[in-house]
Structure 1
Amino acid sequence: MNNVIEIINVLPTIISNGPNEETITILRNIGLSNDEVDEVLDIINQGIGRAGLYKMGMKQDQFTGYLDEHPVFQKTIDLILNSNIEFQTDTDGLHPKLKKGIENTVTKEVDLELLLSNFNNPDYDERAYALYDLIKYNHPNVRLLIEQSLFDKDEMVQITAIQGINENILDDDLIQKLIDLFQGTKNHTLVSNLTHVFSDFSLRESILSLVQKLTSDNLMIVYDCIVCLGEIGDKNVIDNLVPFKRIDEIAIVYDENGYVKQETGYTIGEIATRMIKKLNNTIKYG
């Protein structure tokens, strides 16, 4: 994207205005196309959401994303956290965690039964948000809700369920469900979220499935699996990673308009080399 400096210069005004006609005019006047305007507004939304999560107490090292190094994204976070700027934004379509971050509110009284009713209603547009709140406010059947949601038809519901897993509910049955989902999906977004769970909890049970997934045609999936295997830390997988040192390509995901939605910071070969080095510095499992 061009005109980054110009965008940053008008960022306080854009954040204050929100995605209204004045904002769109400002962005067009600095030379952005309609598609670029939409991209900038989305980046700002994501930045406001991330800043909200930080305000709620979540740590910066809990998050990784394709926008992390984007100057507009970083400047948005900085303005929200370190200034008195008031903001307007559009939360439609954001992941529940980001939406909650933007709202940055705590509801004292929560109607869990209403949330459950909304979640169970197939015609309800915001089932993922309902599930997020059911997890957040610890519904008595939260584990069962998460387990059932792993195979939901709504991808956002699946992602919310995966991200809602914690050590209090993670048992052998749920681990197997996660592995079953991982084995059966070609969706790189689901794979990315699942590999985070596998690595966060050092789930050695997932190693065989991760190695098998290295044959995927999707380089983003391959990348995530390599990283996950390195993080789990079993030296036995080194031989499986060695062939990937020769792949001098980065993994890229494009959106429906052909724009880059996500890309990796390293080539497949570079990340494989880094993970092999990491594994060589770990104690081999018995």
Structure 2
Amino acid sequence: MTPMDVAARALASLDLTNLDADCDAAAVDALAQRAQTPHGPVAAICIWPAFVAQARRALGGSGIRVATVVNFPAGTAPLSATLGEVERALGDGADEIDLVVPWRRLVAGHAPAVTDEVAAVKEICGRARLKTILETGELADPALIRTAADAALAGGADFLKTSTGKVPVNATPEAAAILLDAILASGRDVGLKPAGGVKTTADAAVYLDLCDSRMGRGWATPEHFRIGASGVLTALLATLDGAAAGATGEGY
């Protein structure tokens, strides 16, 4: 792939994100505007639940999806609270739910807790896409990452997502490869979302190449592949505008 090819594919699969602690209404409106680029729209914007209704209005009929996070970022909320978050977000117009699974319980030996929580959230999601955040950088051990992936898939996840972007180690190619292997083994139609640390067109190329080699060249479309990031859009647009592909975006 040329850098231009990478940038075009990555932009179309981008979940443009603002999960900063100081995010406000003006920042959400600005995010919605950035998402509609001269080179086409991103796949989704991902924002705090409090801003879902506003984001829905700001995006209008653009076709850009609204994603939001629940049980975020720690993954320790009671299930009843998480289900309430999901119901409110869906009522406000969310298209996609990014759920932090209770990964600490998995580390403690209770993998069924992940399956049970994913299944409970999936049950009320209806047609909304459910992305499960495994926090692979905190799991660290490849066997634990695979166990988390299998548990989320057993619960009905629509996407496996690496990270919250709020921990020291977020998306890595090694973790993404484990998630892709789990998806292949499941035989299910499930997507992958590396999140956190994707800052350049070259970074995006690593994950697209990984998907192409394991899943086939036509797999990594927005239906199966997302990149969770805030700053990489600047780098992708620079590449598409003919600037050096090494440009780096700021932020998550």
TM-score bucket of the superposed structures, by smaller chain? 0.3 to 0.5
Which has more radius of gyration?
1
Normalised to the residue count of structure 1, the TM-score between the two structures is 0.32
Between structures 1 and 2, the one with greater strand share: 2
